[in-house]
Amino acid sequence: MYQRQAGFSLIEILVTLAIAALILAVGVPSFQGLSSSNHASSHLDEFNSALRLTRHLAVEHNRNAMLCPVVPSSDPTAPTAWDCSSGNWSNGWVVLLLDTSGTPQDVMTSHHPQDKTAWIVTITGGAPISRIVFGSTGTLRAPSTPAVTVSIGQAGGCTKITNAALTGSLSFNAFGC
């Protein structure tokens, strides 16, 4: 008497693998685009929080506060260095509150590893900017006037933009995401 064995035939397994490969071929590029978009969003959200903190500190302490790029360091134990003239925002940034004599005090620092994020921080008209300054009333001060545009681009064509108006208000846009 012939007994039927339980299990899958070779044809059934090959068809299942072909369907799985097709689903992966369609899904992986979509996932990479989503990942790129989320990466740009995460960076910009963190930068927007730093902008809000800078403005808040300026108003709360009735002094100027500024956001400047961080200088990369090979020594993780070294104190944070910043350069308010470099304009290289890709390493991170530091929120500084100016004391009554105008000396900056480090309030918060955010470091970023080098990745494929393209940072462009400009004033209206397209000139690169090396620092963003808020006055005691929460409005932008030179060299940040009349407005600041922060554009963060990723390799997938996703670009997120924050605009800070002279009044200090923020607006957000996304392109290609």
In a domain, 2, yes or no: no
Contact 100, 63 (CB under 8 A): yes
- Which residue from 89, 96, 84, 106 is spatially nearest to 149, judged by alpha carbons? 89
pTM check: above 0.85: no
User: Quick one: which H or E segment has residue 43?
Assistant: helix 10-61
Name 61's Cβ contacts closer than 8 Å, sequence gap at least 6: 97, 136
Both tokens of 26, joined, read: 């369609």
Indicate whether 3 belongs to any domain: no
Residue 79 counted as domain residue:
yes
CATH number of the domain bearing residue 145: 3.55.40.10
Residue 82's domain spans which residues? 10-175
pLDDT tens per residue across all 177 residues of the chain: 567 777 888 898 999 999 998 888 887 776 666 666 676 677 778 888 888 899 999 999 999 999 888 877 666 666 667 778 777 777 778 889 988 887 888 787 776 655 656 666 776 667 778 888 899 998 888 776 677 787 776 655 667 777 888 887 878 777 665
**Residue 169 placed within a domain:** yes
Total domains in the fold of the chain:
1
Residue 128 lies in a domain: yes
- The answer to whether position 131 is within a domain reads yes
**Whole-angstrom distance, CA of residue 47 vs CA of residue 150:** 9
Q: Where on the phi/psi map is residue 156: left (φ > 0), alpha (ψ -120 to 50), or beta?
A: alpha
Q: Is 46 helix (H, G, I), strand (E, B) or coil?
A: helix
Residue 162 included in any domain: yes
CA 133 to CA 147: how far, in whole Å?
11
In 3D space, the residue among 144, 159, 173 whose CA is nearest the CA of residue 40 turns out to be 159
Measure the CA dihedral 174/118/75/69, to 10°.
-70
